[in-house]
Amino acid sequence: MTTSAAAAVPHGHAHRDDLGSRMGMWLFLFTELILFGGMFVAYAVYRFDHPAEFELGAKELDTLIGTINTMVLLTSSLTVAMSITAIQKGKKKLSLLLVGITILLALVFLVNKYFEWHHKFEAGLYPQSPDLLNKPPGEILYFGLYFVMTGLHALHVIIGAIVLAVMMVFIQRGSINKNSYVKLEAGALYWHLVDIIWIFLFPLFYLIH
């Protein structure tokens, strides 16, 4: 296809710079990387200081739920990536379906997270809880980092799901289409970043033995 954008996209802007748009999104993602990176540094230092207590803390987490949630997020990354191929091929309905499945998987992740946290709270493990404060300092640090890092990550999952819901509206209305889909690409990039952060959170919190 070599038609000009103005001809191909009746309602599109005459001056569009998709490469620039994606570059802007990547720059934003780097700031997110630094935000989480700072926390990973804090995690590294405290784990270096309290290896045995981090191990004890990790034993309280449910590896099965963690593994299921990892697979849920990886699958959601697959479906959102495929939605771009679908829109590139002009398959609007398929693209909508794939983004819809991605949002559904985001909700599955959050429901699992809810049960996981709920279980911890019921066991008396939440920030500043008397039970937690009675534990050794290393375990208090472990659970502090656990709640802050997975909490901030869950917030990103919520924001990502909302962004993707808006993308569905754009696809439905046709402002994301075969010839112009950079908005969907940006939304998908955000979603993949959320996935990558979890790829690192999962072994660092769940798989210490």
Partner 1 sequence: MTEHEQQHGEEVHVVSYGRYVLIWLGLMGLTAATVALAGIDLRRWVIITALTIASIKGLLVLNVFMHLKFEDRVFHIFAMVAGVILLIFIVLVFFDYAFH
Q: At closest approach, how far in Å is the CB of 131 from partner 1?
A: 26
Q: At closest approach, how far in Å is the CB of 157 from partner 1?
A: 15
Nearer to partner 1, 38 or 137 (CB): 38
Verify binding: residue 40, partner 1, rule CB under 8 A: yes
Verify binding: residue 78, partner 1, rule CB under 8 A: yes
Q: At closest approach, how far in Å is the CB of 187 from partner 1?
A: 12
Strand partners, 177: 180
Nearer to partner 1, 104 or 196 (CB): 196
Helix H or strand E segment including 2: none
Q: At closest approach, how far in Å is the CB of 177 from partner 1?
A: 11
Nearer to partner 1, 53 or 185 (CB): 185
Q: Could you give phi then psi for residue 180, rounded to 5 degrees?
A: -145, 100
Count of residues engaged in binding partner 1, rule: CB under 8 A: 54
Verify binding: residue 35, partner 1, rule CB under 8 A: no
Q: Which residue type does 120 have?
A: K
Instruction: Please name the residue ranges forming H helices in the chain.
Output: 5-8, 18-49, 51-59, 63-88, 92-122, 130-133, 137-173, 182-206
Q: Could you give phi then psi for residue 90, rounded to 5 degrees?
A: 80, 15
Answer yes or no: are the C-beta atoms of 180 and 22 closer than 8 Å: no
For 127-160, b/e burial (b = at least 16 CB within 10 A) is: eeeeebeebeebbbbbbbbbbebbeebbebbeeb
Question: Interface residues with partner 1 (CB under 8 A)?
Answer: 1-5, 16, 18-19, 22-23, 26-27, 30, 33-34, 37-38, 40-41, 44-45, 48, 63, 67, 70-71, 74-75, 77-78, 81-82, 84-85, 88-89, 179-182, 185, 188-189, 192, 195-196, 199-200, 202-204, 207-209
